[in-house]
Amino acid sequence: MPYDWRVAFLQGVSDGEGYASIRGGFRAGIVTYTNGEFLARLLNSLGVEASPIEKQAAIWKRESILRAARLPMFRHGTGRQSRLLEMAAMLDSMKWKQFSEDEINIIMDLYSQGLVAGQIAMKLWREHGIARRPSVISRMITRKRNKRLAQD
């Protein structure tokens, strides 16, 4: 099947059954009960590495999320495409460095307000231009909490 047809088919399926989640840990994909392998092969044929996992064709690798955003994966699901583009921008600007003291203070303050790691990741990005994966934020919070408990 020609490339453009595959993209159009993907967009139709994604608009109906696709997702893009930043809070859940930078994931995208298509929920399906019976066609996970087929949809994963379709995504792979478009240069987007996907795997059939637990009733879905899942995309989680950085480069694949960037490619899915550029297709674009969603045509009429504009909210989902916006999340996917925002996720791609975050991944593209992410620096693999230690947390600064200011960043730690912001995160711990947000955590003390009752926000979870995914919500903190979004606030960091939208309000401070800092891109961090929710899982990394969660690990940092756990380390800080454990350190404080050990000191008490």
pLDDT of 108-139, one tens digit each?
999 999 999 999 999 999 999 999 999 999 99
Round to whole Å and give the CA distance between 13 and 19. Answer: 11
- Structural domain includes residue 66: yes
- Amino acid, single-letter form, for residue 10: L
Which pLDDT belongs to residue 132? 92
Beta bridge partners of 22: none
Q: Cβ distance 62 to 93 under 8 Å?
A: no
pTM over 0.85, yes/no? no
Residues 11 and 56 in one domain: yes
Residues 23 and 68 in one domain: yes
Is the model's pLDDT at 36 over the cut of 90? yes
Residues 27 and 70 in one domain: yes
Round to whole Å and give the CA distance between 140 and 127. Answer: 19
- Structural domain includes residue 54: yes
- Structural domain includes residue 10: yes
**pLDDT tier for residue 96 given thresholds of 50, 70 and 90:** confident
- Structural domain includes residue 87: no
11-17 mean pLDDT: 96
For the chain, state the CA radius of gyration.
Answer: 18
- Structural domain includes residue 138: yes
Residue 60: give its domain's CATH number.
3.10.28.10
Which pLDDT belongs to residue 67? 97
Name the region of 131 (left: φ>0; alpha: ψ -120 to 50; beta: rest): beta
Domain range for residue 65?
3-77
Residues 108 and 71 in one domain: no
pLDDT in tens, 57-73: 999 999 999 999 999 99
Number of domains comprising the chain: 2
Residues 53 and 14 in one domain: yes
- Amino acid, single-letter form, for residue 59: I
The last residue of a domain, from among 77, 92, 110: 77
- Structural domain includes residue 95: no
Residues 7 and 64 in one domain: yes
CB count in 10 Å sphere of residue 94:
16
Residues sharing a CB contact under 8 Å with residue 72, sequence separation 6 or more, in sequence order: 11, 81, 84, 85
- Structural domain includes residue 107: yes
Which pLDDT belongs to residue 112? 95
Residues sharing a CB contact under 8 Å with residue 79, sequence separation 6 or more, in sequence order: none
- Structural domain includes residue 45: yes
- Amino acid, single-letter form, for residue 120: I
Round to whole Å and give the CA distance between 2 and 144. Answer: 52
